[in-house]
Amino acid sequence: MSKPTERIPIGQAAEKAGISRQSLQYYLMIGLLEPTEVTPTGRRLFDQQAVERIRLIKKLNDSGYPLRAIRELFMEGRTDLKGHSGE
């Protein structure tokens, strides 16, 4: 089991979430997601909560929601990871 404070780089986060690195970079570019931490050298790092959010974005997008609509839902605070993680 991973530690809650573990931070992983963009490639590993994309792999864990089941998307390409390019897709994750696009999610960042359009404001769907923020890195958990940015190092002084500019490396973007992600924690498990961010990986879960990436999975949620992918799931919503795969079910027909356009990325713009997903971003608007997040901006409105209308999505809660706890409500979409199968609980």
> 3-54: per-residue pLDDT in tens?
557 999 999 999 999 999 999 999 999 999 999 999 999 999 999 999 999 9
Sign of CA dihedral 27, 32, 34, 35: negative
Residue 54: per-residue pLDDT = 97
Number of domains, the chain: 1
Q: Note down the domain range covering 45.
A: 8-84
CATH code, domain carrying 20: 1.10.1660.10
> Is residue 1 assigned to a domain?
no
C-beta separation of 12 from 21 below 8 A: no
Burial of residue 13 (number of CB atoms within 10 Å: 0-12, 13-18, 19+): buried
Q: Is 77 a residue whose pLDDT tops 90?
A: no
> Is residue 3 assigned to a domain?
no
- Nearest-angstrom CA–CA distance, 8 and 17: 12
> Is residue 42 assigned to a domain?
yes
Q: Is the model more confident about 5 or about 75?
A: 75
Output DSSP code: residue 2. -
Asked which of 4-8, 53-57, 80-84 is least confident by mean pLDDT, the reply is: 80-84
**Is the pTM above the cut of 0.75?**
yes
